[in-house]
Amino acid sequence: MKNIFVGNLNSDTKPDAIRSLFERLGAVRNLKLMTDRDTGHSRGFAFVEMRTAEAGQAIAALDGRTVDGQAIQVREGRPKLHRGAPSQRPSPMQ
């Protein structure tokens, strides 16, 4: 499975529209439209999970495609970086 980043989405674009766009190129295992935790409004990007071979075809076919009036960015998703507090290891001076 491969994770695909979909960026520059119109704030009005719904998950069903994203899913139907990608399902033309293969089975979508998972889709997550990222929303603001306070307002619930779209943050303008999503992640789609597809089989590796289908994901490559989807990226090539959909990058730059206009959806709801905006050219979307479609590329391979990057691993999520841990954004927590710095580790609790002792400093070298101790």
pLDDT at 30 over 80: yes
pLDDT, mean over the chain? 91
Domains and CATH numbers, the chain: 2-76 (3.30.70.330)
The Cα–Cα gap between 32 and 53 comes to: 20
- Read off the pLDDT of residues 36-56 as tens digits, 9 standing for 90 and up: 999 999 999 999 999 999 999
pTM: 0.83
Percent of the chain with pLDDT over 90: 82
- Read off the pLDDT of residues 5-16 as tens digits, 9 standing for 90 and up: 999 999 999 999
What pLDDT sits at residue 86?
A: 59
What pLDDT sits at residue 64?
A: 98
